[in-house]
Structure 1
Amino acid sequence: MAHFTLSGIYLYPVKSLAGISASHWPVTETGLLHDRKWMLIDSNRQFLSQRRLPRMALIKTALTENDLILSAPDMENLVLPLMPADGEIINSTIWHDQCDARSVSLEADRWLSRFLNTDCRLVYQPDDVVRQVDPDYAHATDQVSFADGFPFLIISENSLVSLNHEMGLDLPMARFRPNLVIAGCPAYAEDSWREIRIGSIDFRLPKACSRCSVPTIDPETAQTGKEPLTTLNRVRNWQNKVYFGQNALHDQCGVLSIGDIVQVKLTGTNQPPI
């Protein structure tokens, strides 16, 4: 029997800033603990991402027991509490969703605005704010933080190996900002997965992930290029979108650890069907 394992766990405390790799990590109602619990918004209360501001890729994140730490070139570290004092309620927009967020601090706003050369504010999602997942793909009880739409993005190692072979490049997995990386399965095996179990947690995979321009941004330099979108457009195009990875929802809380066994419980037609 094929032996698949969890080989990567990544969380992104602040939406569209650099992520953190973990050997094991708790899973809460909204996904990985602290994953995209914070985000940046502009003066119109619209979320900001690397799509508009590639320099966001240069801001590193770190977590301690009590703090979120942001660091960036030529900037002193910004240390913020994991449990912020209540700030101003700001109704913010993530794509088509409206959700309440709270401001963090003027210090954070100034630090980020200075580095990104644009006026912005840092907000966080209070624990009592529930953002539901699109009901077309989820149960009524499914929740998500400030991620684009789903608590998890799953990609297999060999999918990236195959894509890099097509490109003749060696792009790192960090370009694609997954939460969970799976080893031991064939390239794009995840396209057919509908239900899997990783360790003791069950996942549903209702929708493939269509990709935007963010994977074209080098996370170390914030420089943009044409790949991988050029190659994805050639080999993974369906209905005028390109796909890489699978969005996922979870049925239990618990802890995920590198090396956890991945069991495929239900398969279906490939998403995308190419």
Structure 2
Amino acid sequence: MQTSDVTGRISSLHVYPVKSCAGLALPEALLTETGLDLDRAWMVVDEAGEFVTQRELPRMALIQTAFKGDVMGSGGELVLRAPGMLALHLRVDVVEAPTRVRVWQDEVAAYDMGDLAAQWFSDFLVPGGSGRPYRLARFDPEHRRLSSMDWTKGVEAPNQFSDGYPLLVVSQSAVDDLNARLKAAGQPLVDIRRFRPNLVIDGWEAHDEDRVGPIILETDEGEVQLTPVKPCSRCPIPNIDPDTAQSHPSVNDTLQAYRQDARLNGAITFGMNCIVTAGVDRWLKVGQVARADYAF
């Protein structure tokens, strides 16, 4: 094994099929140029086509996602479940009408997923039938939405409906360190779900992901290289309990004391956004070695 400044292993892999709904922990995931396969491939929008998230609709945290069947072939399904709702089954390989939607400042090509999906989300997110209707959109894979090249240093890094980058990497020790601070303050502990990472790395020091250059993952098919490009600034979502959808300020209040990042004008950051710089179409698996060198 090659010697590096930091060496650990992938302790978990996560995809979030529908942006801002609950994610899935997977034993393995296919790496594409836009991140893990089917990560943020779907997104909930309002009647104007604007994306919505837990920031406005904390109940989205209660929508559970699962895949059924062969999602790499034909006939696989995305299955959505929520309290008080019948399960919604959507074919992974089927879309309906083309549409345009907006995620942050980007207007992108997408496909509407139909009236049944729209009714399901509206019924759950607007109990009692009052308020705005919502629809579900699927990213058009022919559309090329790029990460900010100011941060990628000119590298074209496409992504789907993520906030802006293909992958988010978090060290497990960063969560452990936060929990130690929460415990000392008499606050409830939290788990990794609060931070919605794609890769969690065990064996690194807390926040080593902030300090390293390219991350090398040793896969069965050869090395994968992920390049950290931008610290992940944090909105109120880490305050939302994924099991209850209730918000409490203890998480961000605690982070405010030690995670203000000068690179983002003092914003709270936790985890690093990464782009894929080598190894597209290789399989990442829990337990694979993750190593990097410091880049001060």
> Normalising by structure 1, what TM-score?
0.94
**1:24-173 equivalence runs, <5 A:** 24-64=28-68, 65=70, 66-85=76-95, 87-117=96-126, 118-138=132-152, 139-168=154-183, 169-173=188-192
Structure 1 partner of 2:73: none
AA aligned opposite 2:164: G
Q: Deviations over 1:23-80 (max 9, x none)?
A: 1111112110100000001112110100000000000000122100000011100000
Look up the SS of the partner of 1:44 in the other structure: coil
- Is the 8 Å Cα contact of residues 16 and 50 (structure 1) preserved in structure 2? yes
Q: CA deviation at 1:261?
A: 0.5
Q: Residues 154 and 51 of structure 1: is their aligned pair in 2 closer, same or farther, counting only changes over 3 Å?
A: same
Structure 2: segments with no counterpart, 5+ residues: 71-75, 127-131
Q: Distance in 2 between matches of 1:3 and 1:201?
A: 14
Q: Distance in 2 between matches of 1:84 and 1:135?
A: 32
Q: CA deviation at 1:244?
A: 0.5
Look up the SS of the partner of 1:228 in the other structure: helix
- Is the 8 Å Cα contact of residues 13 and 26 (structure 2) preserved in structure 1? yes
- Is the 8 Å Cα contact of residues 97 and 114 (structure 2) preserved in structure 1? no
| Selected match of 1:208 from 231, 248, 257 | 231
- Is the 8 Å Cα contact of residues 233 and 270 (structure 2) preserved in structure 1? yes
AA aligned opposite 2:105: H
AA aligned opposite 2:99: I
Structure 1 partner of 2:270: 244
- Is the 8 Å Cα contact of residues 10 and 286 (structure 2) preserved in structure 1? yes
AA aligned opposite 2:156: T
Structure 1: segments with no counterpart, 5+ residues: 270-274
Q: CA deviation at 1:160?
A: 0.6
Q: Distance in 2 between matches of 1:140 and 1:233?
A: 31
Q: Distance in 1 between matches of 2:34 and 2:94?
A: 18
After TM superposition, where is structure 1 displaced by more than 3 Å over at least 4 residues in a row? none
AA aligned opposite 2:273: N
Q: CA deviation at 1:194?
A: 2.1
| Selected match of 2:201 from 171, 182, 186 | 182
Q: Distance in 2 between matches of 1:142 and 1:220?
A: 33
Q: Distance in 2 between matches of 1:62 and 1:88?
A: 24
Q: Distance in 2 between matches of 1:128 and 1:267?
A: 36
AA aligned opposite 1:240: G
Q: CA RMSD in A?
A: 1.3
Percentage of matched positions with identical amino acids: 34
Structure 1 partner of 2:129: none
Q: CA deviation at 1:267?
A: 2.6
Q: Deviations over 1:206-255 (max 9, x none)?
A: 11000000010000100000121001111111323101100001122111
> Normalising by structure 2, what TM-score?
0.87
Paired residues, number: 267
Q: CA deviation at 1:198?
A: 1.3
- Is the 8 Å Cα contact of residues 149 and 156 (structure 2) preserved in structure 1? no
